[in-house]
Amino acid sequence: MLNIDRKLIKNPQILAETFNNYISNIVEESVIKIIKQDSNNLNKHSYMQSLVSAFQQPFSPIKLKSVTETEIYEINKSLKWKISYGYDEVPSWIVKLSMPFISSPLIYICNKMLSTGTFRTRPKFS
């Protein structure tokens, strides 16, 4: 949950979009600020040079590995037998019982998300 403009937001899609917009705006505002500073600066450094100097050490690359069947089964084993459900609104006992039937599609979906960099929280139905 997040309080946005005095409204309590619970919808994960709206939360993700709000967070994304916030971060995007901060980056854009920072670049604009740096450009304005550069235009007033006698040395006329470019905004890219300012950004490079702000981050002295390069960020290490993120390496995502494909999900394996063993990993999926280990995660499934670690789930507790609960009737209550979590974020996905599916009780863990249903996931545990249905694992033999959903493991292949689950592995495919996880690996597709990792390879494309597209992470959807819920399918859109029209």
Mean pLDDT of the chain: 76
23 or 42, which is more confident? 23
pLDDT in tens, 61-85: 767 789 999 999 999 999 888 888 7
Global pTM reads 0.46
Nearest to 49 by CA among 61, 34, 39: 34
Q: How far is CA 15 from the centre of its chain?
A: 11
pLDDT in tens, 11-28: 777 777 777 777 777 777
CA atoms within 13 A on the CB side of 10: 2
**Mean pLDDT, rounded, for 93-116:** 89
Q: How far apart are CA 92 and CA 81, in angstroms?
A: 6
Q: How far apart are CA 63 and CA 122, in angstroms?
A: 25
DSSP 8-state code for residue 117: T
